[in-house]
Amino acid sequence: MTEVLSAERSQAVDAMLPRSFRVERTRRDTRDTFTLELAPVGGDPLRFAAGQFTMLLAAGVGEVPISISGDPSGGGLLEHTIRNVGSVTRALVATPRGGVLGVRGPFGTGWEVERGEGGDVVLVAGGIGLAPLRPALLQVVRNRERYNRVLLLYGARTPEDILFAPDLERWERDHDVEVAVTVDNGPHDWRGRVGLVTRLVPRAGFDPSRTTAYVCGPEVMMRSTALALRDRGVRADRIRLSMERNMKCGVGLCGHCQLRELFLCVDGPVLGFDRLEPLMSRWEL
């Protein structure tokens, strides 16, 4: 018993120690969003599952939870896409090429994209929610023959806020992904859709009886989307959402990310709508 406790404690301690990663490149995606490409300073590349997150540390400033936005197949640089909205994210984005950041993790549950094999896959993203979904889509297109129809429904604030535009074109052109983009506000010369991303769900061409859906974005948008998917006939346990809470320790000890009986850093962030629905409809949680 003592040995088991000791092993658990040892794992928890390891998880609290950041590894050093060097900034190889910082890519500006939109006016306030950047992707950092990181290489380990010694040791193996970080292995992770699509949908997991890490704690990124800017020394002397602080640590924030950031979803991994790169390819989970391994070997490449570790990618994180970050909105530059606070002191820590500002410091992360400002770290020059060659600068060193701390990385803890990866933490939490993944999208489990394999669940969608043999059927249709619908990914619904709102705003920067496309970043945590990107590894899932990269995994799907890498194994495209295992899936039937693949749809990406994506909502952004304005055309200028559309993330990964080159990826969207490539996935549609080269990988038979049906991409539908909508924005909240469009300038006069915008030719695309304007409106909530949830409005794309009722007429999207998937077979609800064999669909697995992956949804990431603001909580209001995820709830509306999950309800729209369920109205179409997609089973609640096949609708997977990525919840955002104030993750701190990453190992289910500190309680900052508690959602009733769940610690989202270990039980989540990705969970089925069958478990989340009763929690998402209670404002006091």
Positions that interact with another protein (CB under 8 A): 53, 64-67, 81-83, 85-86, 89, 126-129, 131-132, 155-157, 161, 182, 184-188, 190-196, 198-199, 203, 217-221, 224, 244
Q: How far is the CB of 65 from another protein (least distance, A)?
A: 7
Q: How far is the CB of 150 from another protein (least distance, A)?
A: 21
Tokens of 148: 């039937």
Closer residue to another protein in complex, CB, 82/116: 82
Closer residue to another protein in complex, CB, 122/147: 122
Angle at 126 between CA 124 and CA 132, to 5 degrees: 75
| Residue labelled with tokens 């490409």 | 37
Closer residue to another protein in complex, CB, 11/190: 190
Q: How far is the CB of 63 from another protein (least distance, A)?
A: 13
Closer residue to another protein in complex, CB, 105/116: 105
Q: Which helix (H) or strand (E) holds 80?
A: strand 78-83
> Do residues 183 and 160 touch, judged by C-beta distance below 8 A?
no
Q: How far is the CB of 260 from another protein (least distance, A)?
A: 21
| Residue labelled with tokens 């939490």 | 108
3-state class (DSSP) for residue 216: strand
Closer residue to another protein in complex, CB, 9/157: 157
Q: Of 84, 112, 68, which is closest to residue 214 (Cα–Cα)?
A: 112
Closer residue to another protein in complex, CB, 170/193: 193
Q: How far is the CB of 16 from another protein (least distance, A)?
A: 20
| Residue labelled with tokens 């023959």 | 145
Sign of CA dihedral 200, 202, 206, 211: positive
Q: How far is the CB of 223 from another protein (least distance, A)?
A: 10
**CA gap 183, 162 in Å, rounded:** 8
